[in-house]
């Protein structure tokens, strides 16, 4: 064991980087559940001694203790928001809101496209993207059948909108939660810096999608009347639950907004809201709805990346980036924005963001907080918006494509790519202009 320990210590950067790369490859191949890969990689990282199993070292705290690399702000915020959304969904409130918006369109197919896109983007800013598309898809199939229209244009619009809308806030997409926790950025920081450009991107993308799909969006006046007169009276299945969960959701978001005043961490605010709602529920039933695969995927991933960080590999990556860009803030920002977009379009944006975050922290240590601030927004915009490139770019994409195929409307990889390339490049081009004018000009 001493011999193995010496080898690992001598080649810690190469070994920790190899574990991360192999994990990436298996995550991309999707042959083994990604949570299994992350936990196995985490366990190997600990066993090899790349991070420490013990909390103490020579009577003091060991900075390389593996638990130190697990960001529990991220973990508890995710779990708490999943609980709140699960409970709120049971009341039928989100379907009721969606139906009310659809009635405003008077059943016009183009109006339906715009409303579904706008509603999905707005909902994704506060709910996770997967939850949003799962909520909106049944409504979409119902509307498409009433209008006798292929649902694929609507489904693609919802996927693109969910990834764009999720970029707007701290809680909209897991990469933002990781970035916010690491960089110390508040809910209002994200709202102030990202929401305006996301609104612009969403408007432009909806216009592009209308141009793409306008020839398919036709129906008869009779079918339009059916949608215009939707019966929404029975959508709310539990009125007291709707009131209770609605108030808690609003108060939790208000708590996020007031973080700079109260100094209560977002994860604590979310935990308080979730625990209050659980007082009225059977926890066993609600906790079944929490995506534990995602939670343990995060934990394993944090440990793998912790091994690379502890070995000094992250510091080497940061140094390489600064050498390539010769310290230019503009060049570094653009590389991070566009590289993040294309890489996140091919691999899961969560492990990518989790890898890049400690690298940006290292750049901040070298170049300072002012230099690094635009880089955080570049990482967020690139990682979240890049998910629109391919059908495997984000979990929401996969779920929508699989559900659509199940309903007899297959969305192929190339069909998705045809629209995804345009949407992603347009989004990143607008982001480039925004970052340049806002921070680099």
Angle at 209 between CA 208 and CA 210, to 5 degrees: 90
CA–CA gap between residue 257 and residue 262 (Å, rounded): 10
- Say if residues 120 and 172 touch (Cβ distance below 8 Å): no
Q: Which of 120, 118, 113, 122 is nearest to 211 (CA)?
A: 113
Categorise residue 49: left if φ over 0, alpha if ψ from -120 to 50, beta otherwise.
left
DSSP reduced 3-state for 56: strand
In order of 31, 111, 224, 307, 338, the CA distances from 107 in angstroms are 42, 7, 4, 55, 39
CA–CA gap between residue 8 and residue 344 (Å, rounded): 30
Neighbours of 392 (CB within 10 A): 18
pLDDT at 1: 62
CA–CA gap between residue 199 and residue 158 (Å, rounded): 15
Measured in degrees and rounded to the nearest 5, phi and psi for residue 409 equal: -125, 85
CA–CA gap between residue 192 and residue 185 (Å, rounded): 11
Please, where are the H alpha helices in 263-394? 266-278, 283-287, 292-311, 313-324, 329-346, 349-367, 369-385
Q: Which of 5, 71, 1 is nearest to 309 (CA)?
A: 71
pLDDT at 231: 79
pLDDT at 159: 95
Which residue in this structure is represented by tokens 């002012």?
370
pLDDT at 130: 80
pLDDT at 222: 86
Residues 6+ apart with CB under 8 A from 302: 42, 69, 70, 71, 354
Q: Which of 138, 287, 110, 124 is nearest to 209 (CA)?
A: 110
Q: What is the dihedral of CA 112, 113, 118, 120, to 10 degrees?
A: 100
Q: What is the DSSP letter of 330?
A: H
CA–CA gap between residue 30 and residue 19 (Å, rounded): 17
Q: Which of 375, 270, 265, 357 is nearest to 308 (CA)?
A: 357
What is the sign of the dihedral through the CA atoms of 48, 54, 59 and 61? positive
Q: From the first residue on, what is the mean pLDDT of each consecutive set of 10 residues in the chain (441 residues)?
A: 75 90 83 90 92 80 85 87 88 83 84 93 88 84 87 95 95 91 93 96 97 90 82 86 93 88 89 95 89 86 88 86 90 95 84 90 93 96 93 82 87 91 97 96 81
- Say if residues 423 and 205 touch (Cβ distance below 8 Å): yes
CA–CA gap between residue 5 and residue 406 (Å, rounded): 51
List 60's β-bridge partners, or say none.
57
DSSP reduced 3-state for 61: strand
CA–CA gap between residue 237 and residue 93 (Å, rounded): 8
CA–CA gap between residue 270 and residue 268 (Å, rounded): 5
């Amino acid at each position: 064991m001493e011999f193995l320990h010496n080898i690992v210590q001598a080649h810690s950067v190469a070994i920790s980087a190899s574990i991360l790369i192999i994990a990436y490859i298996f995550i991309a191949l999707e042959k083994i559940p990604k949570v299994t890969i992350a936990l196995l990689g985490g366990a190997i990282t600990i066993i090899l001694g790349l991070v420490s199993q013990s909390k103490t070292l020579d009577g003091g705290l060991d900075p390389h203790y593996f638990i130190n690399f697990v960001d529990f702000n991220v973990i508890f915020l995710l779990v708490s928001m999943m609980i709140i959304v699960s409970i709120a969904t049971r009341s039928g409130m989100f379907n009721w809101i969606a139906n009310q918006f659809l009635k405003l369109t008077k059943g016009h197919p183009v109006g339906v496209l715009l409303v579904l896109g706008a509603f999905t983007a707005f909902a994704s800013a506060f709910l996770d993207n997967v939850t949003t598309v799962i909520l909106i898809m049944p409504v979409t199939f119902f509307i498409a059948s009433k209008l006798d229209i292929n649902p694929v244009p609507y489904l693609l619009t919802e996927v693109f909108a969910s990834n764009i809308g999720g970029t707007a806030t701290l809680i909209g997409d897991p990469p933002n939660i990781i970035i916010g926790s690491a960089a110390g950025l508040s809910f209002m920081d994200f709202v102030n810096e990202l929401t305006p450009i996301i609104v612009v991107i969403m408007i432009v993308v909806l216009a592009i999608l209308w141009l793409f799909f306008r020839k398919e969006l036709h129906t008869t006046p009779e079918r339009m009347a059916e949608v215009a007169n939707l019966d929404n009276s029975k959508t709310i299945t539990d009125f007291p639950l709707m009131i209770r969960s609605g108030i808690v959701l609003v108060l939790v978001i208000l708590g996020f907004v007031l973080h700079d005043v109260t100094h209560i961490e977002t994860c604590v605010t979310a935990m308080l809201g979730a625990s209050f709602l659980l007082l009225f529920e059977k926890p066993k039933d609600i906790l079944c709805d929490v995506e534990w695969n995602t939670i343990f995927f995060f934990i394993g991933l944090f440990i793998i990346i912790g091994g690379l960080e502890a070995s000094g590999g992250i510091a080497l990556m940061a140094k390489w980036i600064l050498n390539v860009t010769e310290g230019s803030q503009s060049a570094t920002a653009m590389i991070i924005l566009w590289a993040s977009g294309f890489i996140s379009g091919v691999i899961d944006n969560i492990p990518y963001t989790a890898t890049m975050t400690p690298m940006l922290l290292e750049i901040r240590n070298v170049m300072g907080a002012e230099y690094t601030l635009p880089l955080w927004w570049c990482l967020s915009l690139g990682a979240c918006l890049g998910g629109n490139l391919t059908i495997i770019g984000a979990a929401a994409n996969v779920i929508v494509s699989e559900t659509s195929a199940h309903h007899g409307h297959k969305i192929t990889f190339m069909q998705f790519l045809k629209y995804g390339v345009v949407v992603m490049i347009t989004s990143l081009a607008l982001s480039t202009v925004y970052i340049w004018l806002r921070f680099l000009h």
